[in-house]
Amino acid sequence: MEKFTAQDYQMKTYGEGLQGKRPLLSPLWNKMEEDAYAKMEEGARSYIHGGAGLSHTVDNNRNDFNKYRIVPRMLKNVELRDTSTRVLGVDMSAPFFLCPVGVAEMVHPEGDLAIAKGAAPTGIPYIFSNQGSFPMESCAAAMGETPHFFQLYWSKSRALVSSFVKRAEACGSRGIVLTLDTTLLGWRTGDMDIAYLPFLLGKGIAQYTSDPVFRGLVEDEIALEHPDLDKKSPKYKEVFGQTCAILFTKIYNNSTTTWDDLAFLRDQTSLPIILKGILHKDDAKLAVKYGMDGIYVSNHGGRQVDGSISSIAALPKIVKAVKKKIPVLMDSGIRGGADVFKALALGADAVGLGRPHIFALTLAGAEGVTEVIRQLQADFELTMALSGCKNVTEINRACIVKS
Ligand SMILES: Cc1cc2nc3c(=O)[nH]c(=O)nc-3n(C[C@H](O)[C@H](O)[C@H](O)COP(=O)(O)O)c2cc1C
């Protein structure tokens, strides 16, 4: 892992400014977001923006951060600073990770593989998406020593669930992040307005097309639908591709899932299981009761239920309910070091960076991903120190007030 401090980043940036050079990505993330959306094709722009309904949840995710305000303390000797932490047995250079974001190939030909390459030198973990554009094994190889997790959607095929989990174990993932909030696709008005769903074009289904169980299911389907088709013919290849996309839409999610199904997942793996999409304190308590290893507070970046509670508003009650029995992660709306600090002050152990790393990927590929991570790391380090904390253990509820 490359050594990194906020002051190095600042001095490099200001120093290069003397030669007329600007940073690879603007630290003004609103500007970065605008530039990235301007560069994207219409389908990608709509899918990544992608709020459900009127996008009120997307707005709540941002606005509610501002309901909490940091109260900096002075004269605390913050000369020796440490942003690192350890969560779920995993060392992290700062208390954040990259969220699972599907179909990254829409903005960069190397998609999630480029994200993995960008995260690798930083020591910031990356959660590979179930809807990745590259198989988890290739992303895992690109991560080197930097930890990774695998995000799972509960498929209608248990054999497929099992296969994904075994593959994640085999390629060195440090945990399974089971996303609970997408047992059905949300009412994504922007995508429907332009009648666009990337999966139907065969995008974002690489975990499936690289999976022996899924390929077997596709072959069975073809044998039923086209019993006379020769496996060696060019037509078979074409039909195989189409059938992958169709079968994926039929089986990728499962709205019959209940808490009792978690026992099946527990039986498949000894890896930690983290439940993503928890917003209610009683669900957090159930997660503990059902033997889960971590809770991940998230509303999927406002893509599933419009008019929903923001993640930052849901966090305090969940932290209280969990009573430190298992770690609590959160995402949805993280856009700077102050947000990371506030979430930690409210009891999160680490937070997820979502859309911004996709904007960085759009504008500058793998290098952009490294850069956006460095910017958040530097911003967090300075926020922490200037608020009077030397390390993450010193950040607590007394560091912020509710305004
Ligand atoms: C384009 C896009 C695709 C996403 N794909 C997935 C996914 O495959 N699996 C998942 O669990 N979450 C997915 N998410 C949700 C993210 O993991 C995360 O919860 C969200 O981006 C956080 O909100 P923010 O980006 O506004 O900070 C996706 C989000 C976006 C924007």
Q: What does the pLDDT look like over 264-323, one tens digit per residue?
A: 999 999 999 999 999 999 999 999 999 999 999 999 999 999 999 999 999 999 999 999
d(CA 148, CA 168): 9
Section 75-88 average pLDDT: 98
98 lines ligand 1 (CB under 6 A): no
- Whole-number Å distance, alpha carbon 364 to ligand 1 midpoint, is 20
Residue 26 C-alpha to ligand 1 middle, in angstroms? 22
Q: Inter-axis angle of helices 158-170 and 212-225, to 10 degrees? A: 150
**Which atom of ligand 1 is the closest one to the Cα of 334?**
27
- Domains of the chain, residue spans: 25-198+257-402
pLDDT value at residue 57: 98
Q: How far is residue 210's CA from residue 244's CA, in Å, rounded to a whole number?
A: 11
**Alpha-carbon separation of residue 400 from 68, 309, 339 (angstroms):** 6, 20, 11
Asked if residues 238 and 246 have their Cβ atoms less than 8 Å apart, the reply is no
**pLDDT tens digit string along 83-107?**
999 999 999 999 999 999 999 999 9
Token pair for 74: 């002075």
Interval 46-68 mean pLDDT: 98
Q: Counting atoms of ligand 1 from 1, which one is nearest the CA of 58?
A: 26
CB atoms within 10 A of CB 70: 18
Run of H or E residues at 199: none
Check whether 1 has a pLDDT greater than 90: no
Ligand 1 mean position, distance from CA 100 (Å): 6
Give residue 3's pLDDT band: very low, low, confident or very high (50, 70, 90).
confident
Ligand 1, residues 276, 355, 361, 362: which to mutate, most atoms within 8 A of Cβ?
A: 355
From 49, 148, 300, 357, active-site residue: 300
Distance, in Å, from the CA atom of 84 to the CA atom of 95, rounded to the nearest integer, reads 7
Q: What is the mean pLDDT of residues 187-202?
A: 97
| Residue 300 known to be catalytic | yes
pLDDT of 295: 98
What token pair was written down for 286?
């159930």
264-267 LR contacts (CB < 8 Å, sep 24+): 264/158, 264/161, 265/152, 265/161, 265/165, 265/176, 265/178, 266/291
Average pLDDT estimate for 318-345: 98
Q: Where are the alpha helices (DSSP H) in 280-336?
A: 281-289, 311-322
Would the CB of 301 count as within 6 Å of ligand 1?
yes
Using the mean position of ligand 1's atoms as its centre, give its distance from the Cα of residue 212 in Å. 26
Closest ligand 1 atom number to CA of residue 129: 8
Q: Using CA positions, which residue lies closest to atom 21 of ligand 1?
A: 354
Distance between Cα 48 and ligand 1 center (Å): 8
What is the per-residue pLDDT for 96?
A: 98
Q: What is the chain's alpha carbon radius of gyration, rounded to the nearest angstrom?
A: 21
pLDDT at residue 303, as a whole number: 98
Identify the pLDDT of residue 127.
99
Q: What is the pLDDT of residues 215-260, one digit of tens each?
A: 999 999 999 999 999 999 999 999 999 999 999 999 999 999 999 9
Q: Residue of the nearest CA to atom 31 in ligand 1?
A: 48
Q: How would you class 184 by CB atoms within 10 Å of its CB: exposed for 0-12, middle for 13-18, buried for 19 or more? A: exposed
pLDDT band at 121 (very low <50, low <70, confident <90, very high): very high
Task: Answer yes or no: is the C-beta of 163 below 6 A from any ligand 1 atom.
Answer: no
Spatial distance between the Cα atoms of 312 and 333, rounded to a whole number of angstroms:
8
Residue-level length of the chain: 403
Q: Do 359 and 33 meet the contact criterion of CB atoms below 8 Å apart?
A: yes
List, for residues 124-162, the tens digit of each pLDDT value: 999 999 999 999 999 999 999 999 999 999 999 999 999
Is 175 near ligand 1, meaning CB less than 6 Å away?
A: no
- At 139 the pLDDT is 98
Whether residue 276 has its Cβ less than 6 Å from ligand 1: yes
The atom number, within ligand 1, closest to the CA of 48 reads 1
Three-state SS for 227? coil
How far is the centre of ligand 1, averaged over its atoms, from the C-alpha of 126 (Å)? 13
Residue 16: its pLDDT value, please? Answer: 98
Indicate if ligand 1 lies below 6 Å from the C-beta of 354.
Answer: yes
Neighbours of 281 (CB within 10 A): 16
Determine which residue's CA is closest to atom 15 belonging to ligand 1: 300
pLDDT of 2 reads 76
Query: Can you tell me the mean pLDDT for 182-207?
Result: 97
> What is the number of other CB atoms lying within 10 angstroms of the CB of residue 159?
14
State the chain's mean pLDDT as an integer: 98
Residue 355 Cβ contacting ligand 1 at under 6 Å: yes
How many whole angstroms from 101 Cα to the centroid of ligand 1?
Answer: 5
Q: Which atom of ligand 1 is nearest to the CA of 132?
A: 8
**What percent of the chain has pLDDT above 90?**
99
Cβ of residue 277 lying under 6 Å from some atom of ligand 1: no
CA of 150 to the centre of ligand 1 (A): 14
The domain made up of 25-198+257-402 has a fold known as TIM Barrel (3.20.20)
0.75 cut: is pTM over it? Answer: yes
Q: CA 36 to CA 34: how far, in whole Å?
A: 5
